[in-house]
Structure 1
Amino acid sequence: MINEEAIKLSLRKVIDQDTGKDVVTLGMVSSIVIKEGHIGFVLQFLSREHAVKKANLKVECENALKAIPDITRVTVVEAVVGTANQKTSNKISIEGVKNTIVVVSGKGGVGKSTVALNIAVSLLKLGYRIAIADADIYGPSLPQMLGSQGLTPQIENKKMLPVERYGLQTMSIGYVIDKNSAVIWRGPMITKALHNLLLGTKWQDVEYLIIDTPPGTGDVHLSLAEKFNLTGAVIVSTPQELALIDAKKAFDMLKKLNVSIIGIVENMSYFSYQGSQIHIFGESGAEKMAKELNIKFLGKIPIDQQICEVSDSGNPFLLSKTLMKVYNDITEQILVKDQRGFLSFN
């Protein structure tokens, strides 16, 4: 029978030659996922240099598991998590920004960007100074959703001024590259572009900066978590099992990188038809995941044609009061007022 213990037993055969200990004993293995004959897990390294030096361990882990009968596929996700006592004093604070929230998803196509934008709009309507940054270097969608395609940031004292739309301060790589051109960059170039995007923008008294990140657990996420002071992260997933598997990977990455996890949003939760809720992608999967991982469940967003239409139109303020209330309820779950009158997390 394939279970977590059987997986760990096989992985104990993979030995790190420098220490003489196996990868399980060294605490390098986490987030084991078993889906029929498909096995996935995270292999953790202390640094990128460590991951390069120990590249053979990933191959050895794959071979060890493939030797188990009935296993048809093995997915090993490498993650740089640092050490347990990693200091955060050297992390960067973004000038002009009080708090920074990253919106993440392990899987693409779950509506993360739409959720990020509507959380920003909800906060704006509460009266706070809000900015949103599109950190999806490969597929920036913010200009389309805000109707700001073709706009170019002005430069002041060698810094870009955020593009203002509907009262939001915005910045996206989509403002500085051709929307029809493919971005073909390696990891270091992506990291540099991200730093320029966040640190090279003259943010103006922003109380909350919402960062829409790319899907997955790649260089952008590692750079954000390792280099920047983050207030917390919101995870977005659909109820579908495949999406939840990747959402759990995102959760594990954030936890290992000591990023405060605010909670999880279940997007595309259901479709309303003749007074009934039809659960196209499964029912309450993200809510169950929240209970399993002991994190806050922030709420459900339905499948609604208007959400798509408003995103395509470039004006999020056209969303109906009923749908906007859904996002407002999620925002209220995220934020509470502390004694100083500023917003803080539960």
Structure 2
Amino acid sequence: MPPTSDQILEQLKTVTDPELHRDIVTLGMVKSASANDDGIAQVVLSLPQSASRIQPLLTERITAALVAMPDITDAQIQFEYRLASGQDAPAGQQQQSPEEQLTPQQTARQDNPLPTVKHIIAVGAGKGGVGKSTVAVNLAVGLARSGVKVGIMDGDIYGPSLPTMLGTDKLELKTIGNMIIPFETHGLKAITIGALVEDDKPLIWRGPMAHGAFRQLATQTEWGDLDYLIIDLPPGTGDVPLTLAQLLPLTGAVVVCTPQKVAQDDAVRALHMFQQLDINVLGVVENMSYFIGNDGVEYDIFGKGGAEMMAKQSAVPFLGAIPINMNLRTNADGGDPTANFTGEDKLAAELNNVIGNLKNQVAITDNDQWTPSISIS
């Protein structure tokens, strides 16, 4: 007697995605699974188009897992590819029926816990130390200065940087009932896990704890109406990005990278992670791109242009380069990112270039149909 669909799905939980290292059932890749009386298992997978490169390896892993089951002699595996927006790819693919398993982002769009937030943008990186939090904070502040309503969430629950960068460590956290009232500073609504734990306490989280902490920050904060919510993720491809993809419908993600090859390799992994989670990559930012010394000479300390080349090779937008700048570091340490836009003209111009390109990509994603609400004070 052939195994049931539930038994096959349980067996498929032993098959991991070769890049995300999570099982394909949890990732929402399995569209249907069954077996006929001849002992042939039939599996349909739904993946983003960018994941076509892993089809051979997935086929091998799935086949090996299924033929190991009693009464299964062979496996027939069909792949269907969809666009980053969640729409089916235009190659005669079948539409997904209601009873079939949705991708994490499709589920998040249906069960959106933040309906008053127009655009949710994740800022991630393949490795630590590339300035991901610096980019996230300055994107948020720059967007707010353009007249839209912006929030920022410190989703880096292992190493929160926003208390220092935004100066929220000097502010008192308030709650109403079970809802957290975000800090209002630098024109932003901001919340960070750093406000909920003791100073200097190491943040040691197992997977379920990380999931719960991220969910609480996202859904139990009183965000109100926002045009943008910027989420600063922890580096790498761990539990938090997966939780994000399952919980919140994202407009897209920004990947931060420094120019050197080792950072590019990790950034490509982060980029592929977002694509496989059905999250649109809005673009890549090259941080620490170069340094201009007091002698006026430009020094390419980490190389230059590597992230732009990586973006081109990955067919994603390049949002711009941010050089090493003493004022950027000083203002971050002092909790005053607004000074980046009101002080040195060149620094403000470099940041605004990245922000302008990001807004253009959001507009493209929305087919130029989004009209921001203007905040006048």
TM-score between both structures, scaled by the size of structure 2: 0.69
Deviation at 1:324, TM superposition (A): 1.6
Superimposed CA distance per residue, residues 284-318 of structure 1 (whole angstroms, 9 cap, x where no aligned partner): 11010011001000101001111111001111112
Structure 1 307/49 Cα, relative in aligned 2: closer, same or farther at 3 Å?
closer
1:26-45 aligned within 5 A: 28-29=17-18, 43=21, 45=23
| Residue 306 (1) aligns with residue 336 (2) | no
Equivalence for 2:235: 215
SS state of the match for residue 209, structure 1? Answer: strand
Give the superposed CA RMSD. Answer: 2.9
How far off its partner does 1:44 sit?
Answer: 5.9
The gaps in structure 1 that reach 5 residues or longer are: 1-17, 20-25, 30-40, 51-56, 62-82
Q: Does 1:326 align with 2:350?
A: yes
Residue matched to 1:133: 153
Distance 1:339 1:139 in 2: 37
Partners in 2 of 1:45 and 1:282 — Cα distance? 37
Which residue matches 1:6? none
Residue 279 of structure 1 corresponds to: 300
Q: Report the Cα distance in structure 2 between the residues aligned to 1:293 and 1:115, rounded to whole angstroms.
A: 21
Query: 1:95, 1:199 within 8 Å by CA — same for their partners in 2?
Result: no
Q: Which runs of 5+ in 2 are unaligned?
A: 1-7, 10-14, 29-56, 62-80, 83-95, 97-101
Larger Cα-atom Rg: 2
Matches within 5 A, 1:228-239: 228-239=248-259
Partner SS state of residue 262, structure 1: strand
**Matched residue type, 1:174:** G
Q: Specify the code of the residue in structure 2 equivalent to 1:156.
A: I
Superposed displacement of residue 49, structure 1? 9.6
Aligned equivalent of 2:76: none
Residue 177 of structure 1, CA deviation:
0.6
Structure 1 segment 1-346 matched on structure 2, within 5 A: 28-29=17-18, 43=21, 45-48=23-26, 86-87=102-103, 88-89=106-107, 90-273=110-293, 274-319=295-340, 320-336=344-360, 338-342=368-372
How many residue pairs get aligned? The number is: 283
Letter in 1 for 2:331: V
Matched residue SS, 2:223:
coil
Segment drifting more, 249-258 vs 87-96: 87-96
User: Is this contact kept in 2: 1:110–1:237, CA < 8 A?
Assistant: yes
| Mean Cα deviation higher: 190-199 or 155-164 | 155-164
Query: For the residues of structure 2 that align with 1:189 and 1:44, how far apart are their CA atoms?
Result: 17
- Which segment drifts farther, 180-189 or 83-92? 83-92
Residues 283 and 317, structure 2, Cα contact 8 Å, conserved in 1: yes
What is the identity, as a one-letter code, of the residue corresponding to 2:350? V
Q: Which amino acid aligns with 1:45?
A: D
Partners of 2:350 and 2:319 in 1: CA distance: 10
Q: TM-score, normalised by structure 1?
A: 0.75
More deviation in 267-276 or 99-108?
267-276
AA aligned opposite 1:193? A
Distance 1:253 1:290 in 2: 15
Alpha-carbon distance in 1 for matches of 2:26, 2:325: 42
Q: Structure 2 vs 1, CA of residues 91 and 280 (structure 1 numbering), >3 Å: closer, same or farther?
A: farther
